[in-house]
Structure 1
Amino acid sequence: MNRTLISEVINNYGKTIMIKGWVHKIRKLGKLAFVVIRDRTGVIQCVMNTKLIDIKGLKLESVVEIIGEVQKKEGSDNEAEIWVNQLVTISAVIEDLPIEINKDNMEANIDVILNNRVLSLRNQRINAVFKIQAALAQAFQQFLTMEGFTQVFTPKIVAEGTEGGTELFELKYFERKAYLAQSPQFYKQMLVGSGYERVFEIGHVYRAEEHNTIRHLNEYVSLDLEMGFIQDEKDIMELEERLLIYMLMYVVEKCKKELELLEVKMPEINKNIPSMKLSEAVSILREHYGRIDLELDLDPEGEKQICEYAKKELGSEFLFLTHYPKVKRPMYAMPAEDTLTHSFDLLFRGLEITTGGQRIHNYSQLKDNISSRGLNVESFNDYLEVFKYGMPPHGGLAIGLERLTAQLLGFRNVREVTLFPRDRDRIRP
């Protein structure tokens, strides 16, 4: 007999089937026992006569095989249950569970949850988070493939940092010094210039930042894209608008059950996400929030405040901030008027989830810009090489997958939406 997934049980009324999964709940009532079984597709109640089937010693989370007849659940027209003929314990639980995972809301702090991460993922609400996160990444991949992008896979061990050598994890690479990649930025640009024109990557990046906040990780998943033959950063922003609409619609379609379980309020998004220059945002924060301390960038509180303003005055939970100063952007950012750049951030519900912009495509200009930052141009020869041989105007962006997930689902701490977080204090499990 082949295994039937729990989501398919309802299609088998009157039939004898076999299911396999974990013991989710146990309730005894006289000679009957009601055992809820869980697999990757859902849960179902199994009814057992304890005089015929011995459940002594059966513990929560044991892995079992059940054979029984599918019947309509009493008092329901559209729910099924299984009347059990046979119960086999495939893998018994041999120790008490360190955390109680079968409540909707786990009564444990985040450190306890993360210390027992594999077990905590069996909780339906926590499990749902990462199904939604997977759907976001799948939608990112699908949309860009349809838009003519090529998926690429770039090295995570590099000789130089993309941000000029700061915030790097150094490692010993045989007889040489190397680093963990902060970003696939250089490779994205090189591949645009290699004839692909449009590339994207879903991969881990590493930042050796010592701050330990609820919004930062030292290893996270970055959704990166780069495209050639653009006019300016507005082309990238327009693409991201359409990309986000596709991603959110995909999640609604594929993750209805998970969204309902987590009680997610999906954002409304139009093809015209409002945008304003950073300087305008600073002026608004000074006028409406008394933030006289801001000038060249926004702090976390400023991001929350300007998003609050955008939702109230512009009717949007998304906001593009543009024209960041050169001193706040990497050496490859395309200069704009004065001391600004053709760059942007996208804020969502009070947090920056995207950084992007137009890049310098002229070899001499890029070389001079590297030098003006006090960096050794020779260290970037591999990166610069392709710019000698014809590079189209180009730009791109990077979306932090964990941050996007946290903001979409309403989690305050980005670690809650990270499978196995790596931060200043955590390197296990």
Structure 2
Amino acid sequence: MRNRTYTADAEPGRTVTVAGWVHEIRDLGGIAFLILRDKTGRIQIKFEKDEMDDELVETGLGVHRESVVTVTGDVEEEPRAPTGVEIVPESIEVLAEAAPDLPLDPSGKVDAELSTRLDNRTLDLRKEEVKAIFEIRAEVLRAVREQFRSIGCTEINTPKIVATGTEGGTELFPITYFGREAFMNQSPQLFKQLMIGSGLERVFEIGPIFRAEEHNTPRHLNEATSIDFESAFIDQREAMDACESVVRAAYEAVADNCAEELETLGLADEFEVPEDDFPRISYEEAIERINATGELDEQLVWGDDLSTEAERALGDDVGGHYFITDWPSEIKPFYIKDHDADPQLSTGFDMMHPRMELVSGGQREHRYEKLVEGFEQQGLDPDSFEYYTKMFKYGMPPHAGWGLGGERLVMTMLDLPNIREAVLFPRDRQRLSP
């Protein structure tokens, strides 16, 4: 719309055309107001019934909430209006009439269940609080990309349809691919490692991953956004440095550029950018600290994975983001390199928020023979991964990297109760539409 003015830019003394949704109509008798909403905010349209054309008044006050309209008129100063100005309309055009019965209330005055909101996501995003989450999510992704570029990364895009899973046959979504069995990719892990051998040396990707997990919890999805990093000629410690810098950059960008959205979410006073270095706690120390809290029914022993309860107990004890390092080799995937001095210990690490795991990473095994041994030790057939393993015969440098859950980052950053709040159209065990 060529001559459109956003509501936030409507200044007294101008004649403007604004366009948006009918947020609310307030009829006070001789005077009435239509509140119009666009992406920048709201503005009040004033109708003095006795002084205006009857058809204009009827059009403006007879339209249903959430209908799309354009209004042309003079902007006047009005201290009692929500934004200090109002428009006296000369003309109103209804571009799209909304049905009178809405499945949810975009004004937010009447709450709706999460399932109802997700079924009607377009309407749900008309609420300021929901829109704010996705404005912040967009800023997080922008900042993450900028930080990756600042540390010398090249952005890549890897296949999402693959012949075999990243970590074998578990948690895979099978599909039919021209008469052959294929799968939705669990991770860009193997492909980003191949790019390290290509000479690009340092890469990142932000894209979807698919996991056929049976979990149906507030923190699990079957399609998620993975933020991935991989670099040649670094070890796991330098990979953790990069991880910390990316997470901190995301927080800093939100603090600097999303003040209005944080205010809308009620987080303006409590949002904090992590300033201190993230502690690096060995797996052995983590087990000891969790057991010392007394929060678990049974004590953990070496080789146990960490349950949700264990993660929370340790998170409460640490109180901020932290790394768990030096995991047992048997727990980590085949591509994670073991410590040369102790093959029972891996170079794998997880980066944790007090609420949950955000990142999994480590130094990779770059030696062909050791890589194949890793496959065999975990019961995988190296021949099924030949496209990957054979490239390690042709000069693969030492390298390390990690994958960060995009939705989990936003969820923990904004203290959202359910990860689905950070996804436009979630995919889980029950939800395939919209």
Fold agreement, TM-score > 0.5:
yes
CA distance in 1, matches of 2:237, 2:6: 47
Cα deviation, 1:272-329, whole Å, max 9, x if unaligned, reads: 1111012211111111225334232211111111111112xxxxx2111111222221
2:242 corresponds to 1:239:
yes
Given that 2:335 and 2:374 are in contact with CA atoms closer than 8 Å, whether structure 1 keeps it comes out as yes
CA displacement at 1:25 relative to structure 2: 1.3
**2:94 match:** 89
1:73 deviates by 2.6
Q: Distance in 1 between matches of 2:392 and 2:19?
A: 57
Match of 2:216 in 1: 212
Equivalence for 1:294: 300
Q: Check 1:271–1:144 CA distance in 2 against 1; reply closer, same or farther (3 A cut).
A: farther
Match of 2:207, SS state, is strand
Q: What corresponds to 2:5 in structure 1?
A: 4
The percentage of counterpart residues that share the same residue type is 39
Residue correspondences, number: 420
- Distance in 2, matches of 1:154 and 1:394, equals 18
- 1:354-373 equivalence runs, <5 A: 354-373=359-378
Pairs within 5 Å for 1:7-22: 7-9=8-10, 12-22=11-21
- For structure 2, which runs of at least 5 residues remain unmatched after alignment? none
2:189 counterpart letter in structure 1: Q
Separation in 2, partners of 1:26, 1:95: 13
Give the TM-score, by structure 1 length. 0.94
Match of 1:421 among 419, 423, 426: 426
Q: Secondary structure at the match of 1:196?
A: coil
CA contact (8 A) 2:411 2:418 kept: yes
- How far 1:49 sits from its partner (Å)? 2.3
CA-to-aligned-CA distance 1:248-276 (integer Å, 9 cap, x gap): 11112221111110012323412511110
1:77-226 equivalences under 5 Å are: 79-103=84-108, 107-226=111-230
Q: 1:306–1:350: 8 Å Cα contact kept in structure 2?
A: no
Q: CA RMSD in A?
A: 1.7
Q: Which residue of 2 aligns with 1:314?
A: none
Native 8 Å contact 1:72 1:78 kept in 2: no
Q: Tell me, in whole angstroms, the C-alpha distance in 2 between the residues paired with 1:289 and 1:26.
A: 57
Residues 253 and 386 of structure 1, relative CA distance in 2, 3 Å threshold: same
The answer to whether the 8 A contact 1:194-1:386 is kept is no
What is the 5 A alignment of 1:279-428? Answer: 279-291=284-296, 292-295=298-301, 296-311=304-319, 317-336=320-339, 337-428=342-433
Q: What amino acid does structure 2 have at the position aligned with 1:101?
A: P
Q: Does the 8 Å CA contact 1:331/1:369 hold for their aligned counterparts?
A: yes
Tell me how far 1:218 sits from its aligned partner: 0.4
8 Å CA contact 1:297–1:324 kept in 2: the answer is: no
Q: Helix, strand or coil: the match of 2:351?
A: strand
Aligned 1:245-264 pairs, distance under 5 A:
245-264=248-267
Distance 1:76 1:420, change over 3 A: closer
Q: What TM-score does the superposition give when structure 2 sets the normalisation length?
A: 0.93
2:277 maps to 272
| Alpha-carbon displacement from aligned partner over 1:84-125 (angstroms, at most 9, x marks no partner) | 222111111134101112026x51111111111121111111
CA 1:254–1:290 in 2, change beyond 3 Å: closer, same or farther?
closer
User: Does structure 2 conserve the Cα–Cα contact (< 8 Å) formed by 1:278 and 1:297?
Assistant: no
* 2:67–2:98 contact (8 Å) kept in structure 1: yes
- 8 A Cα contact 1:209 1:218, kept in partner: yes
| C-alpha distance in structure 2 between counterparts of 1:267 and 1:324, whole Å | 30
Q: Which amino acid aligns with 1:113?
A: R
What does 1:50-61 correspond to in 2, within 5 Å?
Answer: 50-51=49-50, 52=52, 53-54=57-58, 55-61=60-66
Asked whether the equivalents of residues 236 and 396 of structure 1 are also in contact (C-alpha less than 8 Å), the reply is yes
Q: Is the 8 A contact 1:402 1:418 kept in 2?
A: yes
Q: In the aligned structure 1, how far is the partner of 2:351 from the partner of 2:203?
A: 20
Query: Shift of residue 181 of structure 1?
Result: 0.2
What's the CA shift for 1:394? Answer: 0.8
Q: How does 1:25-64 map to 2 (within 5 A)?
A: 25-51=24-50, 52=52, 53-54=57-58, 55-64=60-69
**1:402 is aligned with what amino acid?**
E
CA contact (8 A) 1:305 1:350 kept: no
Residue type matched to 2:325 in 1?
Answer: T
Q: Which deviations, in whole Å up to 9, do the C-alpha atoms of 1:345-382 show, x marking residues without a partner?
A: 11113111111111111111111111221211111110
CA contact (8 A) 2:72 2:89 kept: yes
Rounded Cα–Cα distance in structure 2 between residues aligned with 1:48 and 1:198: 61
- In structure 2, how many angstroms separate the alpha carbons of the residues matched to 1:345 and 1:92? 51
Taking the aligned partners of 2:132 and 2:83, their CA distance within structure 1 comes to 23
